[in-house]
């Protein structure tokens, strides 16, 4: 089976722009979670989607949003980019709803740099 794929792998944007990141989960996985990783903050949970519905959300401003499609692929959008949004954005998929504690499989991440 192919692993979790994320596109693009690298992205450079300027302040005020918006960006959309994409994640394709492992085939058969219905849960997709998004994380932001920065050197100072470590891994921070953004949100989790299951069957096209947002089930869990972390403490991020409304500029961060996401969605999941019927094929379980997920997109994350960040509007009005700020310098502090520069980070590695990781996507992880799992079989079922996250609260059952399924093992998560991580993608390689998208490295976003905001100038």
Partner 1 sequence: KNEVEQSPQNLTAQEGEFITINCSYSVGISALHWLQQHPGGGIVSLFMLSSGKKKHGRLIATINIQEKHSSLHITASHPRDSAVYICAVRTYMDSNYQLIWGAGTKLIIKP
The residues binding partner 1 (CB under 8 A) are: 33, 42-45, 48, 55-58, 88, 90, 92, 98-106, 108-109, 111
Q: How far is the CB of 56 from partner 1 (least distance, A)?
A: 5
Q: How far is the CB of 16 from partner 1 (least distance, A)?
A: 26
C-alpha span between 43 and 91 (Å, rounded): 11
Residue 90's DSSP bridge partners are 35
Q: Which is nearer to partner 1, 44 or 86 (CB)?
A: 44
Half-sphere exposure of 25 (CA within 13 A, CB side): 28
Q: Which is nearer to partner 1, 76 or 80 (CB)?
A: 76
């Amino acid at each position: 089976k192919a692993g979790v794929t994320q596109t693009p792998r690298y992205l450079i944007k300027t302040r005020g722009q918006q960006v959309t990141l994409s994640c394709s989960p492992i085939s058969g996985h219905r849960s997709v979670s998004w994380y932001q990783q920065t050197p100072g903050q470590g891994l921070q949970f953004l949100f989790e989607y299951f069957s096209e519905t947002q089930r869990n959300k972390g403490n991020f401003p409304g500029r961060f949003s996401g969605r999941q499609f019927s094929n379980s692929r997920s997109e994350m959008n960040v509007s009005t980019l700020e310098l502090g949004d520069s980070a590695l954005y990781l996507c992880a998929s799992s079989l079922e709803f996250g609260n059952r504690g399924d093992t998560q499989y991580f993608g390689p991440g998208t490295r976003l740099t905001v100038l």
